[in-house]
Chain A
């Protein structure tokens, strides 16, 4: 019987600095409970992958401590690696091997041989829907198939903790949804603890029990998606006047109910409502009193992007593009 700590992740003051580079991770504290799906949300370059590399023992921290599955990531690297599975940001597969050959390689590296290897390979190929393509070379796989094989490879040794680094980046909606279902099933049915990094708000919202939002190497907010949204964000009202010349009037009216915000459709005016001014009927009456005719009026529920905006002053989408100097992938040490 596993003790609770054996399925948990804890980090205290985790730091990673690169030579001549930025402080990619700048003092992270986090705790992921057994069987929990923890969404690590942030823009490109925020420090997500560097954190994963440290927690999976691929990269030693510059400072701070972390335990994964009850083992210290610095002192007990081999034990951590036995307990975890990981699908890193790039689905690193050999294009000249088949899916089944990948599983043979991976099982062998974990010391699984003979009948158990064949049984486990078939079970995983079936589970990720690759049985028919199992004997085809990976270079003919689609992006979604590669990601599913990547997930199967991470699961060969029945890990208690699974790290998924941006597992759905570049996937179509169908493949993304299929992966979400499988990840959700792993946590719910098998009690696997999942540490999932993502830059997709929807992914964190749908999958994660709790979310940590990281920016510039620091966690700026943490909690359940519902709690985070309720804590700092209220609904947003977006109005589009039928006559574009009336945008100014609409803005003046709406600003009585909250602060104007950006990022909505062209020609529209949007305000984030304050808790005490959230009455849609009042807004309609006020606009009507000014004689404004609207072509569209919408109310948007708060999103994790609103949380990110409130904590960092920026929207999540596109935030990483401003930070060209900060590597998302851990920088290679300078050599030769």
Chain B
């Protein structure tokens, strides 16, 4: 990474943040929607905490992990739809006509998205704490939660960027994200895996990497320092990030045919 690359990444990231901030729907929806869903689930599924073996007496605390993953997904959708639009409108070509390195374009795009995802994460955490959730891992856990959130956002963002670069189509990127939400709903988002009664659902939730992301976040909220859950969560997030980034970098290489 050269000395000029860092300011370039910062400028591109800044642009992504400004663009998002100036579209109220892209700010409000990712903040409010996960909170509404959390409120509905916390109210409707509270009785689940009475199941033998349920890890906490507060469903709100149990489910607080979900907005972190959901928010990262929503931020990724918006950012990558905009990225695909940059390709469609020729804005990416404008940037490609400068001496900037190709990977800087990708880092800038991802950097802006990480900033947005972290702001959202702080919001979810503050709302959770305001409604009585106690963070068992303390301040250190909150910091680690933000690091994990950044990795989760990076993982989804990299895959989303790959889709945007590969197709260059806003519609295709939008079409991809319901698939992500299927992964979310087929995870342990509403029930610990060992308490899922239906065999196929338990099996799907076990092989579903999103379960491990949620469980890592959840462990920091309701358990404290569960190294196994954290290890698995970080491993999945890093693995998805690496694979996603490699795919995105390859797609960028193909997309920018510049010499």
Interface residues of A (CB under 8 A from B): 56-60, 73-75, 77-78, 80-82, 84, 86, 88-90, 92-94, 96-97, 101, 104-106, 108-111, 113, 137, 153, 332-333, 335-336
Which of A94, A97, A104, A109 interacts with B99 by CB under 8 Å? A109
Decide if B98 touches A58 in the complex (CB within 8 Å). Answer: no
What 1/0 flags go to B118-144 for Cβ under 8 Å of A? Answer: 000000000000000000000000000
With A56-B97, A74-B259, A86-B97 known, 19 other A-B pairs at CB within 8 A are A58-B257, A58-B258, A75-B259, A78-B99, A82-B99, A84-B97, A88-B94, A90-B89, A92-B90, A93-B91, A94-B86, A105-B15, A108-B7, A109-B95, A109-B100, A110-B98, A113-B7, A137-B22, A335-B166
Q: Give Cα distance in the complex from A153 to B91, angstroms.
A: 12
Which of A73, A77, A90, A111 interacts with B4 by CB under 8 Å? A111
CB distance from B108 to the nearest CB of A (A): 10
Interface flag for B197 (CB, 8 Å)? no
Q: Give Cα distance in the complex from A93 to B8, angstroms.
A: 18
* Chain B: CB-nearest residue to A110: B98
Interface flag for B147 (CB, 8 Å)? no
CB distance from A111 to the nearest CB of B (A): 5
Decide if A58 touches B96 in the complex (CB within 8 Å). Answer: yes
* Chain B: CB-nearest residue to A93: B91
Decide if B99 touches A81 in the complex (CB within 8 Å). Answer: yes
* Chain B: CB-nearest residue to A137: B22
User: Which range holds the interface residue count of chain B?
Assistant: 20 to 34
Which of B11, B23, B259 interacts with A96 by CB under 8 Å? B23
Decide if B259 touches A77 in the complex (CB within 8 Å). Answer: yes
Please give, as numbers and ranges, the residues of chain A lying within 8 Å of B15 by CB-CB distance.
Answer: 94, 97, 101, 105
CB distance from B182 to the nearest CB of A (A): 19
Of residues 1 to 57 in B, which have CB atoms within 8 Å of A's CB atoms?
Answer: 4, 7-8, 11-12, 15, 18-19, 22-23
Please give, as numbers and ranges, the residues of chain A lying within 8 Å of B22 by CB-CB distance.
Answer: 96, 137
Given A90-B90, A92-B91, A92-B94, do A105 and B166 touch, yes or no (CB 8 Å)? no
Given A60-B257, A97-B18, A105-B15, do A335 and B94 touch, yes or no (CB 8 Å)? no
Please give, as numbers and ranges, the residues of chain B lying within 8 Å of A57 by CB-CB distance.
Answer: 97, 258-259
Decide if A336 touches B19 in the complex (CB within 8 Å). Answer: no
Decide if A92 touches B93 in the complex (CB within 8 Å). Answer: yes
Decide if B167 touches A336 in the complex (CB within 8 Å). Answer: yes
CB distance from A21 to the nearest CB of B (A): 14
Q: Give Cα distance in the complex from A58 to B94, angstroms.
A: 10
Please give, as numbers and ranges, the residues of chain A lying within 8 Å of B94 by CB-CB distance.
Answer: 88, 92, 106, 153
Please give, as numbers and ranges, the residues of chain A lying within 8 Å of B246 by CB-CB distance.
Answer: none
Which of B8, B11, B98 interacts with A81 by CB under 8 Å? B98
Please give, as numbers and ranges, the residues of chain A lying within 8 Å of B166 by CB-CB distance.
Answer: 335-336
Please give, as numbers and ranges, the residues of chain B lying within 8 Å of A110 by CB-CB distance.
Answer: 98-99
Of residues 207 to 259 in B, which have CB atoms within 8 Å of A's CB atoms?
Answer: 254, 256-259
> In the complex, which of the residues A57, A73, A111 has the most CB atoms of chain B within 10 Å of its own CB atom?
A111
Please give, as numbers and ranges, the residues of chain A lying within 8 Å of B259 by CB-CB distance.
Answer: 57, 60, 73-75, 77, 80
Please give, as numbers and ranges, the residues of chain A lying within 8 Å of B8 by CB-CB distance.
Answer: 108-109, 111
Decide if A81 touches B97 in the complex (CB within 8 Å). Answer: yes
Interface flag for B168 (CB, 8 Å)? yes
* Chain B: CB-nearest residue to A75: B259
Of residues 59 to 103 in B, which have CB atoms within 8 Å of A's CB atoms?
Answer: 86, 89-91, 93-100
> In the complex, which of the residues A82, A101, A108, A137 has the most CB atoms of chain B within 10 Å of its own CB atom?
A108
Q: Give Cα distance in the complex from A78 to B104, angstroms.
A: 14
Interface flag for B172 (CB, 8 Å)? yes
Pick the 9 closest A-B CB pairs, nearest first: A92-B90, A77-B259, A109-B98, A108-B11, A92-B91, A96-B22, A96-B19, A90-B90, A111-B4
